[in-house]
């Protein structure tokens, strides 16, 4: 089974750049999207349904902002919209699909790069979401948490750790949260199989960053330890260029 996570930075924009062809070629069983920037009625679901996917969207109340989705070839037993927090649910940040074998979440973590107030929201989300997942695992122990975490975990995950040491997305308190996240019982599915540097999932639109591979790895697929032995492959599709992000994927036996 192959699971992809992809911040599409506007699903309609990504669709105009060949997203459907990429999804078809990937052979993914489940795709988690972040930053839809669209309401469900604005998304051309026929493009995905024609490939055999059922589609589930959780958009932000604010038009053209945030939003997450899951498309799946296997029909979920249930789909849960939101995480029970008024602000984060209004921003369309969490959707979950439950299957017999486990649950998949598509999560769009807030960015703090626009100022102190949003950084505070981001840190609040990190703490709330950690506790939310801790409670969730009591009932749903086998989790795959896909998403744009908006944090680089280690120096190897960012092109210039020294100059970015005070930048949102690489702050010590954000990286400490990632330490705690993985220590709590999750595996970074990409790093489980790939220790090499210069693997990124997001590049600024400025200064020709993508062509020069001056990027950040901020998109992750975290797999709970109960499923980690089933990881048979993982990767980053850096050549997929429908967004300022690129897809990451994991294969589970």
Catalytic (active site) residue 131: no
Phi and psi (nearest 5°) for 103? -130, 145
Query: Residue 114: its pLDDT value, please?
Result: 85
For residue 115, pLDDT over 90 is answered with no
Q: What is the mean pLDDT of residues 56-68?
A: 97
Catalytic member of 89, 120, 148, 160: 148
Q: How high is the mean pLDDT of the chain?
A: 97
Query: Residue 71: its pLDDT value, please?
Result: 98
Query: Which H, E and C letters describe 87-116, residue by residue?
Result: HHHHCCCEEEEECCCCEEEEEECCCCCCCH
Query: Residue 127: its pLDDT value, please?
Result: 98
Domains of the chain by range and CATH? 2-252 (3.60.10.10)
Name the one residue in this structure whose structure tokens are 């089933």.
230
Q: In whole angstroms, give the CA distance from residue 198 to residue 149.
A: 18
Query: Residue 113: its pLDDT value, please?
Result: 87
Instruction: Give the pLDDT band of residue 222 (cuts 50, 70, 90).
Output: very high
pLDDT digits (tens, 9 = 90+) for 226-251: 999 999 999 999 999 999 999 999 99
pLDDT digits (tens, 9 = 90+) for 122-146: 999 999 999 999 999 999 999 999 9
Query: Residue 169: its pLDDT value, please?
Result: 98
pLDDT digits (tens, 9 = 90+) for 187-197: 999 999 999 99
Which residues are bridge partners to 249 per DSSP?
Answer: 4, 235
């Amino acid at each position: 089974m192959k699971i992809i996570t992809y911040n599409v930075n506007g699903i309609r924009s990504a669709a105009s750049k060949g997203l459907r062809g990429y999804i078809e070629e990937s052979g993914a069983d489940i795709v988690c999207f972040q930053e839809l920037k669209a309401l469900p009625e604005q998304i051309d679901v026929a493009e995905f349904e024609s490939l055999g996917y059922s589609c589930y969207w959780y958009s932000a109340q604010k038009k053209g902002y945030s939003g997450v989705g899951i498309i799946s070839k296997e029909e979920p037993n249930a789909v849960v919209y939101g995480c029970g927090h008024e602000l984060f649910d209004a921003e369309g940040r969490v959707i979950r699909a439950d299957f017999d074998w486990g649950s998949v979440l598509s999560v769009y973590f807030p960015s703090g790069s626009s100022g102190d107030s949003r950084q505070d929201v981001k840190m609040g989300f990190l703490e709330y979401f950690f506790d939310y997942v801790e409670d969730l695992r009591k009932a749903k122990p086998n989790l795959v948490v896909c998403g744009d975490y908006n944090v680089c975990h280690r120096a190897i995950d960012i092109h210039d750790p020294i100059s970015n040491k005070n930048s949102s997305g690489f702050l010590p308190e954000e990286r400490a949260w990632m330490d705690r996240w993985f220590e709590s019982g999750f595996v970074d599915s990409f790093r489980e199989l790939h220790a090499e540097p210069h693997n990124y999932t997001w590049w600024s639109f400025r200064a020709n960053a993508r062509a020069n591979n001056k990027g950040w790895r901020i998109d992750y697929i975290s797999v709970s330890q109960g499923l980690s032995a089933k990881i048979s492959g993982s990767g980053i599709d850096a050549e997929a260029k429908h967004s300022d992000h690129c897809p990451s994927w994991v294969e589970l036996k």
